[in-house]
Each structure stands twice: as structure tokens, then as C-alpha cells.
């Protein structure tokens, strides 16, 4: 065994694990069959956010008169939009490749499968084959889009997010199957680009695991923006029509249909385990992913699984943290992932971010709690930005310890980390209220919402019956 650690997959879990291994002095090899950076950098988080920025600018232009500025006859160039997106992706991928090189990490382009618990067969992209052995092997093969059994799902014009990201023209009518994070981010982007967007979602509320307060208000906002929202419904089939596609769905009243030029299937993701030959060495897994312990080791000693492939929480930043944790445990360094305080950021309009538990979750788990909201329309910075929609909601236990934060509004993805730190460090309302927040900033909304938990917020009317 000439290597200490071999990692299969160069996404945000794999490449971070590789760098952490090198930092600890290990001989590390990284095997990637396609592109360093995985789905996140190449087909997910990063290209989507590049397009999200285009959508942000277009939304501002649509309301530019409010700022006393006139812009006539603006347009956009899809080729330049795609070129900019590619430049952002390439810059980040190149940077990671340089980091791997500077850490003396061997990178092999190819596909790996297990021969035994310490040996991999690698078929390289150049056609050559090699056997690689290691003391520890980390599986970080990620996930792929789940395609449900829907008649017509293989028709031209039906896409996953990966294909739709490379659009060459904006579809006039876009139907989005699924109201989760990916579906709603893409819906927002294409609505801003001018598509007539309809979302068909199987559940009553959009965005699973988000506070119902947030989900209800968000649905109201996007309807005002022109997006059609159909909940508690399922797509039954897709048919080719004379002009585009017909998307049939079933709700409480029976079968209906929508006309579309394009359909996005965003009904979740599934772990990538195909071709790894896991059965030959007895690794336990199911449709949700490879089973691991708290150290991310599988049932086979010395083999670990991190990121989407273990199905625990499919977020890029979670994959990275799991990668560090797994390698630290290989080195005998104590490290665990606390899933109770993982920030979840959704790049829609307005942005949504959450950490800790929701008020609904607290009730389900019979946790006594208090909740307080502060509207961005009462925040000076939000008004100055022209983005007053949304609110900050903070939840505490009865001892005033902060246990959950939900934010919908401007820069929610940046603001959530103060809440995440507060939950992680078990900070109280007093800890936040005694910390001076700069004015005028969006962060003041978090402070005011937190202070509202014990009715000491300055810019929030007192609750009836709580102050005399």
C-alpha cells in the first residue's frame, strides 16, 4: 500500500478532504472522472449563482425608475451571459487545481472501482488501467438528478438543471416540476429572464424544511412576480404538442395540463454509487446512500463516505466539513459534524436562509419556545437598498437561548451566519442585545428580532399584555 489516503471524487467533499490530508502530512491521491469541483462548481452552486446575479440586475432594471434613473431599451446577450458564467466556473476550478498541485496531491483522471478493501481499479480517461492501493479510501462520488417515472420525461425539451444551465434561448413558457431549492432557484432566474414560469409541487408548502411562515410569504411574493404556483399536485405525463409540450398534472379536482416550451425536472437527487463495485467488499448502502458512522466510516474499516453519497445532508458546505472531519478521524483527531446548526441558503427572490430548528419543528418535538419577527420594511438599510420585503425570525427556548433563525430578505445568505454562530455557541438574547450592531446595516434586523423575544426591541411595538 503506497498511499495513505485515496479519495474517489473531486467535488467539494473530495478535494477538501484531499487538502486536509496533505495538511496532516499524508500521501494523498485524488481520482476524478470528469472535472475537479464536481457538480457544485461545474453544474450547480457556482454557475447557478452566476446566473442569479444576472437575474438580480434584471430585477433592478425592471424597477430602476424608483431610483430616479432612466434606462431605455435594455436587453441581454445570452452568449455573453453563458461566457461570463463559464469564466467564473473556470477561474474557481483552475484555482482548486492549483491548490491540489501546491499541496503535492496526486490527481488521476479516471473511474475507480473496488477490487478489495484496500485496492482500486482505475480506468483512466486515456484508456489505460491501473491498480491503486491505500490504507484508507474515501468515497466522495456525490449525487445525480433523480428522474421520476413520468411518461414523456425523455422528450426533447425536458431537462434537469444541469442541461438547463446551458440554455441557448430563454423558453417562453417554463414548467418546473418540484418546489425544492433547485426548482425554486431556477424558477426565479428564468422568471427574471422573461419566462412565464409555472411550478408544480407535490407538497402543500414550497421549500421543504423551511418555516411555514417563510414558505407562505415566499409563495405570495413569487406569485406577485408572475410565477404560477400549483401545490399538492403531481405531474402524470408529458406529451409532445404542436407547439412545445403539454404537461399533465393531477390535483384534488382531477387532471389538468399546462402548455410549455421547456420542462425542468427538479424532484431531488440520488447518491452516485454505480460502478463502484461496493457489493464485492460488503459495503452497506441503500437508495438514500452509503451508511456511515459519526466518523463517516462505512461498515468496512478504513473506507469512508462523505458528502451527497452518504445522503445525510446534500449541501456542498456539509460535504466539505464531512471531508475534513473524516480525515481528522483517520488521523486520530476528534472532530464531529453538528447537523443541528447547518446554515441552509436558498438563492431566490427574496433570498432565504435558515439555521437551527423552525417553530414547527419545536412544536413537533414538544420543545417550549418563543418566536419573534422583525420586518425588513422597518430596517433603514433595507429601505435604502429598495429591498424591504421579508423578515428575520428568531426562536429561543424558555431560557432565552437561541435555537433557530429564519431569514427571508436582502442578503439573507450572508446574515444567517450570525444566527448560526449564536445557535452553535448557545448564545442568549442578552448576549446578542449586549453586542453593538452597526447602523445602518441589515444585521440590525437580526438584533431587533432577537431582542423581541423578551420584548426589549427598540423598533418593534410591544406585544399586547407583555409590557405594562
Q: What DSSP assignment string belongs to 432-450?
A: HHTS---SS-THHHHHHHH
CATH of 158-267, one of 3.50.50.60, 1.20.1250.20, 3.30.479.30, 3.30.300.280: 3.50.50.60
Q: Enumerate residue ranges in the chain where pLDDT < 50.
A: 467-468
19 near 105, Cβ under 8 Å? yes
**DSSP 8-state code for residue 195:** -
What is the per-residue pLDDT for 463? 66
Q: Which of 321, 411, 439, 459 is catalytic?
A: 439
Instruction: Please give the CATH superfamily to which domain 341-454 belongs.
Output: FAD/NAD-linked reductase, C-terminal dimerisation domain (3.30.390.30)
- Specify the pTM: 0.94
Rounded-to-integer distance, Cα 389 and Cα 382, Å: 8
pLDDT in tens, 200-230: 999 999 998 899 999 999 999 999 999 999 9
Establish whether 317 is a catalytic residue.
no
What is the per-residue pLDDT for 468? 43
Q: Distance of CA 135 to CAs 18, 30, 365, 460, Å? A: 14, 14, 42, 59
Rounded-to-integer distance, Cα 111 and Cα 113, Å: 7
Task: Name the grid cell of 169.
Answer: 434561448
203 near 209, Cβ under 8 Å? no
Among 380, 386, 409, which residue's Cα sits nearest to residue 66? 386
Beta pairing partners, 239: 246
What is the per-residue pLDDT for 419? 97
Beta pairing partners, 370: 396
100 near 107, Cβ under 8 Å? yes
Q: Distance of CA 139 to CAs 13, 185, 285, 307, 382, Å? A: 9, 29, 12, 9, 44
Neighbours of 371 (CB within 10 A): 18
What is the per-residue pLDDT for 462? 76
Q: Tell whether omega for the bond before 226 is within 30 degrees of 0, i.e. cis.
A: no
CATH 3.30.390.30 residue spans of the chain:
341-454
Among 319, 305, 275, which residue's Cα sits nearest to residue 112? 275
209: left (phi over 0), alpha (psi -120 to 50) or beta: left
Rounded-to-integer distance, Cα 114 and Cα 357, Å: 39
CATH 3.50.50.60 residue spans of the chain:
3-144+270-337, 158-267
What is the per-residue pLDDT for 119? 96
User: End-to-end distance of the chain based on CA atoms, in angstroms?
Assistant: 74
Where do runs of H (alpha helix) occur along 331-411?
359-364, 380-385
Rounded-to-integer distance, Cα 335 and Cα 326, Å: 8
Among 358, 57, 419, 353, which residue's Cα sits nearest to residue 218? 353
9 near 306, Cβ under 8 Å? no
CATH of 3-144+270-337, one of 3.40.50.10470, 3.40.640.10, 3.50.50.60, 2.170.8.10: 3.50.50.60
Task: Name the grid cell of 120.
Answer: 482500486
What is the per-residue pLDDT for 289? 97
Q: Distance of CA 164 to CAs 89, 125, 150, 171, 182, Å? A: 16, 26, 19, 10, 12
Grid cell 449586549 in the structure block, residue: 434
Amino acid at each position: 500500500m503506497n498511499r495513505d489516503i485515496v479519495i474517489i471524487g473531486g467535488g467539494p467533499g473530495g478535494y477538501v478532504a484531499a487538502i486536509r490530508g496533505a495538511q496532516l502530512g499524508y500521501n494523498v491521491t485524488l481520482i476524478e472522472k470528469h472535472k475537479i469541483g464536481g457538480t457544485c462548481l461545474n453544474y450547480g452552486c457556482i454557475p447557478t449563482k452566476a446566473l442569479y446575479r444576472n437575474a438580480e440586475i434584471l430585477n433592478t432594471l425592471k424597477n430602476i425608475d424608483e431610483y430616479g434613473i432612466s434606462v431605455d431599451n435594455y436587453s441581454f446577450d445570452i452568449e455573453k451571459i453563458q461566457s461570463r458564467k463559464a469564466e467564473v466556473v473556470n477561474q474557481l476550478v483552475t484555482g482548486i487545481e492549483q491548490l491540489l498541485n501546491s499541496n503535492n496531491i496526486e490527481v488521476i483522471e479516471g473511474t475507480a472501482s473496488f477490487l478489495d478493501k484496500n485496492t482500486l481499479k482505475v480506468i483512466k480517461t486515456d484508456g489505460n488501467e491501473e491498480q491503486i492501493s491505500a490504507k484508507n479510501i474515501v468515497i466522495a462520488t456525490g449525487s445525480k438528478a433523480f428522474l421520476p417515472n413520468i411518461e414523456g420525461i425523455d422528450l426533447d425539451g425536458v431537462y434537469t438543471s444541469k442541461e438547463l444551465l446551458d440554455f441557448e434561448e430563454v423558453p417562453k413558457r417554463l414548467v418546473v416540476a418540484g418546489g425544492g431549492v433547485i426548482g425554486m432557484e431556477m424558477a426565479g432566474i428564468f422568471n427574471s429572464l422573461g419566462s412565464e414560469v409555472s411550478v408544480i409541487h407535490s407538497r402543500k408548502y414550497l421549500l421543504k424544511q423551511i418555516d411555514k411562515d417563510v414558505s407562505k410569504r415566499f409563495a405570495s411574493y413569487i406569485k406577485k412576480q408572475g410565477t404560477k404556483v400549483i401545490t399538492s399536485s403531481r405531474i402524470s405525463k408529458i406529451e409532445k404538442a404542436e407547439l412545445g409540450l403539454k404537461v399533465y398534472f393531477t390535483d384534488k379536482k382531477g387532471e389538468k395540463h399546462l402548455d410549455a416550451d421547456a420542462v425542468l425536472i427538479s424532484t431531488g437527487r440520488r447518491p452516485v454509487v454505480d460502478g463502484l463495485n461496493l457489493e464485492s467488499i460488503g459495503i452497506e448502502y441503500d437508495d438514500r446512500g452509503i451508511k456511515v458512522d459519526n466518523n463517516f466510516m462505512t461498515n468496512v474499516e478504513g473506507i469512508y463516505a462523505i458528502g451527497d453519497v452518504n445522503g445525510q445532508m446534500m449541501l456542498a458546505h456539509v460535504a466539505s466539513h464531512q471531508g475534513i472531519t473524516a480525515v481528522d478521524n483517520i488521523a486520530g483527531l476528534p472532530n464531529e459534524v453538528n447537523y443541528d446548526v447547518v446554515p441552509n441558503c436558498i438563492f431566490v427572490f427574496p433570498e432565504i436562509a435558515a439555521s437551527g430548528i423552525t417553530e414547527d419543528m419545536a412544536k413537533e418535538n414538544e420543545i417550549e419556545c418563543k418566536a419573534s419577527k422583525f420586518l425588513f420594511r422597518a430596517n433603514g438599510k433595507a429601505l435604502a437598498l429598495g429591498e424591504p420585503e421579508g423578515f428575520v425570525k428568531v426562536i429561543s427556548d424558555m431560557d432565552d437561548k437561541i435555537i433557530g433563525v429564519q431569514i427571508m430578505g436582502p442578503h439573507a445568505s450572508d446574515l444567517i451566519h450570525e444566527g448560526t454562530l449564536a445557535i452553535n455557541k448557545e448564545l442568549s438574547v442578552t448576549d446578542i442585545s449586549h453586542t453593538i450592531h452597526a447602523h445602518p446595516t441589515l444585521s440590525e434586523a437580526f438584533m431587533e428580532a432577537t431582542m423581541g423575544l423578551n420584548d426589549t426591541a427598540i423598533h418593534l411595538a410591544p406585544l399586547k399584555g407583555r409590557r405594562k
